[in-house]
Amino acid sequence: MTGLFPTENSYLNYQPKSAPHFNPDRIVLTKGSFQTIQQHDFVRAICKIYPQAKIIERFDISHNRFELSSSIPLELHYKGKKTLVFGIHKSALRLSDEVIMPIIPVEGRQKIYASFIDNLLMSVPLERVTLGQICSYSATLKLTERKLGKRNPISSRLEKTKCNDGRVRFTFKLRIEVYRHLIDTIREFQPKLHISLCMEEYQTFKALNMESAIGYCNCVI
């Protein structure tokens, strides 16, 4: 999903125009998007440039709680690209979400990431966390290797064959091992924290018994 979170200065001399290659078929108005007259005018101005989009009013929920009503990864991905959500962001000291990526399986990773997660969860009151590892197209990987060399810590651990989406990832076994360690570490601190995965394959969700988490990150393939 594409989200818009207007700041106080967003309304100054704003002239709305459609974005290239973006044509939403629905616009969702969530909690906080209509708090002031300026916000109301801002939202309505953008809605007018997408007259074909269905307007959905969900002022009872925050922007990150709107669900796309599907459990099929490809359908979720398509719906997300066709959905525009208006909402309001919390301050940096009160963030409800956290994305930990890219996770790189370097030597000593268990201790490194356990310490990071410990500090994160002790410092920020999270509602959910999304984990993501490296997934690169060939062209992107070439740029990485041009900068770091072909024997860098990332390339040396990637599979030689592409996944179904055309990206290259770490081996399935390694990804599962890394995710399991991170998830277990998070559960030790916050057993009820919602966890999802970014840019991962269905088989990964299934191996980790996380099918119910599919769709909570818009990057699900």
| Domain residue ranges of the chain, discontinuous segments joined by + | 2-86, 92-213
CA angle 98-42-5, nearest 5°?
Answer: 5
At residue 103, the pLDDT reads 85
3-state SS class at 148 = helix
Q: At what angle do helices 109-123 and 172-189 cross, to 10 degrees?
A: 40
Tell me the CATH class for 92-213.
alpha beta
Mean pLDDT of all residues in 124-142: 82
Mean pLDDT of all residues in 137-141: 82
Closest by Cα among 70, 82, 96, 85 to 31 = 85
Within 13 Å, how many C-alpha atoms sit on residue 86's CB side?
Answer: 24
Residue 128: in which H helix or E strand, if any? strand 128-133
195 against 98, higher pLDDT:
195
Query: Rounded distance, CA 186 to CA 128, Å?
Result: 11
Q: State how far Cα 198 lies from the chain centre.
A: 6
Two tokens, residue 78: 């398509």
- Picking from 21-35, 69-83, 112-126, which range would have the lowest pLDDT averaged per residue? 69-83
CA distances from 71 to 54, 81, 205 (A): 22, 16, 12
- The answer to whether 179 touches 113, Cβ cutoff 8 Å, is no
Model pTM? 0.55
Reported as a pLDDT band with limits 50, 70 and 90, residue 208 is very high
At residue 89, the pLDDT reads 58
